Each structure stands twice: as structure tokens, then as C-alpha cells.
Chain A
Amino acid sequence: GAGVSQSPSNKVTEKGKDVELRCDPISGHTALYWYRQSLGQGLEFLIYFQGNSAPDKSGLPSDRFSAERTGGSVSTLTIQRTQQEDSAVYLCASSLRLSGSTDTQYFGPGTRLTVL
């Protein structure tokens, strides 16, 4: 079946502008995760959704970052007043998150954000 999709694949923006990144999870996956990966760095957890709720937003770097999920499906990550240090690849993953079983996260291709 279809995997996790993200759009846009690349986004170049000017410092101070707002950007919206979109994630379409695998159909039926109740859990959705946002990570970011800076050049040469590991994964940095941002936020976790279970359904439309976000039990863990602890990884959002500042209040300029927000995310929402509607209909238990699509999620949007919004970065306001972008800064150069926001430049990174933003990755979305989804999983079934069934209790009592292993929970494999499947990643999308990512959105490469460049803030000039």
C-alpha cells in the first residue's frame, strides 16, 4: 500500500516567513510523529500525535513551532518567523501503535527546508 507522504519535498524560504509542512500518514495508522534531522546529525524528536491529540510536544524547539492533526490523518507542522537554524530535513513517521505489540514507525521521504 501507499507509504507516508510529505509535501513539499523541498522548501526554500526567507528568514522571517512562515512555512507549513504537510504529512499524510499510512492509512489506518493512529500514531504520527514529527522529527527533524540537521545536516550530519541524528534524529531529533519534535512531537507525537495519537489520533488528533498530541500527548507529547516536548521536542518542539520553541513557540514558533506548532503542529496539528485533523481527522486522525493529515498533519501540518507550522514554523512561524523562520530562522536560519530551522534549516533541516523534517521527517514524518506513522505507526499503528497498538497496545501490547511492537510498534514500528514508517517514515516519509522528508521535507528539506532551507531558510535563507
Chain B
Amino acid sequence: DAKTTQPTSMDCAEGRAANLPCNHSTISGNEYVYWYRQIHSQGPQYIIHGLKNNETNEMASLIITEDRKSSTLILPHATLRDTAVYYCIVRPNSGGSNYKLTFGKGTLLTVNP
């Protein structure tokens, strides 16, 4: 699987947008970008995923650059409950052992009052 690079930590003020970047310069054509987060002492929570087009759901928006080498997860109005470690991963749609998820170190997002 392609590797991803994320900042170790970020801070955001409550109510502001949190923009979390991820670099995946070696991504392959059939690999999707997935975002999960893990709040302290809880299981990972799926947020959003995309291939080429920007995606939006009730939790967040995902902006993928045209060359697909990087992406940004946007939490439009961060709350204190969004404080968590955010993981960006790339994985193929199908084939091989694409089901084996591996998380890197992720970005610790701290939302401050």
C-alpha cells in the first residue's frame, strides 16, 4: 500500500474549520483515500473516503488534489469532541489483502475552547 505523511499534531479553535493535510505522493490509480479517527480509549471511527472527486458527508469534507498526491480533511465547525487522532490511509479497492488496514501515526488534532 502507498504510504501517507501527516503532521504529528495540530490545534484548532472551537467553532473554526479544521483542515488536516495528508500527503500520498505514491498513490496508485486504484487506491482510495480513507480517513478514520480515534478518540482516546475508543475504537477507530470511519469518517470519509474518496478516489478522485471531492466528497462530503455529515461529518466532514474530503478535498483531493487533481494529481491525487495529497488530500485535506475538513471539519467545518470543530467542537471539543472532535479532539482525536486522525488517520489518513490509502488502500486499493480490491485485490490481495486490501482488507488489512494499517494506520500510521496520524495527526493529533486538539480543539481548544
Q: Which residues of A contact B (CB under 8 A)?
A: 4, 6, 31, 33, 35, 42-43, 45, 48, 56, 59, 91, 93, 95, 97, 99-110, 112
B: number of interface residues (CB 8 Å): 21
B45 at the interface (CB under 8 A from A): yes
| Docked CA distance A108–B42 (Å) | 8
What 1/0 mask marks residues of chain B from 18 to 54 whose CB sits below 8 Å from any chain A CB?
0000000000000010101000011111100100000
Indicate whether A106 sits within 8 Å of B46 (C-beta atoms), given known contacts A33-B99, A56-B97, A100-B94.
yes
B104 at the interface (CB under 8 A from A): yes
Contacts of B49 in A (CB 8 A): 102, 104
B81 at the interface (CB under 8 A from A): no
Contacts of B102 in A (CB 8 A): 42-43, 45
Residue contact A91 to B44, C-beta cutoff 8 Å: yes
B65 at the interface (CB under 8 A from A): no
Instruction: Report A111 CB to chain B, min CB distance, Å.
Output: 10
- Residues of B75-113 at the interface with A, using a CB-CB cut-off of 8 Å, are 93-94, 97-105
Contacts of B99 in A (CB 8 A): 31, 33, 48, 56, 95, 97, 103, 105
Contacts of B105 in A (CB 8 A): 42
Indicate whether A105 sits within 8 Å of B46 (C-beta atoms), given known contacts A33-B99, A45-B100, A48-B99.
yes
| Docked CA distance A48–B100 (Å) | 9
Task: List 11 A-B residue pairs with CB atoms under 8 Å apart, sorted by A's residue number.
Answer: A42-B102, A42-B104, A45-B102, A48-B100, A59-B100, A91-B43, A101-B93, A102-B49, A107-B36, A107-B43, A109-B42
Contact of B101 among A43, A97, A112 (CB under 8 A): A43
Instruction: Report A43 CB to chain B, min CB distance, Å.
Output: 5
Instruction: Report B50 CB to chain A, min CB distance, Å.
Output: 9
Instruction: Report A56 CB to chain B, min CB distance, Å.
Output: 7
Q: A4-B43, A43-B103, A109-B42 are in contact. List 20 more A-B contacts (CB 8 A).
A: A33-B101, A35-B101, A42-B102, A42-B103, A42-B105, A43-B102, A45-B102, A48-B100, A56-B99, A91-B43, A93-B44, A95-B99, A102-B93, A104-B49, A105-B46, A105-B99, A107-B36, A107-B43, A107-B44, A108-B43
